[in-house]
Amino acid sequence: MIRRVTVPALFPPPTYSHASVVEAGTKLAFLAGSVPLDAEGSIVGEGDPVRQAEQVMANLQEQLRAVGSDLAHVLHTEVYVVSSETSVLSAVWEVVEASGLSTGPHSSTLLGVACLGYAGQLVEITATAVVP
């Protein structure tokens, strides 16, 4: 159902694939950005991008569950981190890896950005997944 592609002519990515391919007729879910809010709408882990990434991953799993999918069926993510420091981006990516999301591995883009939608928000992840 999902074919992960690492292109031999390109530098091998450490924990993601260059592309993910699915057959026509497969049901896909395009998820809105998962944010570090709790059920009451409060920011979790204010000032702590690693704690926020953990909450984002927990929320992403809930989004996937709601559409009948899971982390194993994620094709692509975009990971947004409010930072220009690669060490901060790497720390957030370590949370993504530890979650099991990068097993596959899925294709992904990790971005340092100036700001995100909620005051105090440091991390957001969008995802596309197969619904088995």
Residue segments in the chain with a per-residue pLDDT below the cut of 70: none
Cα–chain center distance at 119: 20
For residue 38, what are its two tokens? 């709790």
The pTM assigned to this predicted structure is 0.88
For residue 108, list its beta bridge partners: 77
Burial label for 10, CB within 10 Å (0-12, 13-18, 19+), is exposed
pLDDT of 44: 98
pLDDT of 4: 87
pLDDT of 90: 97
SS3 state at 40: coil
pLDDT of 114: 98
Burial label for 56, CB within 10 Å (0-12, 13-18, 19+), is buried
For residue 42, what are its two tokens? 């409060």
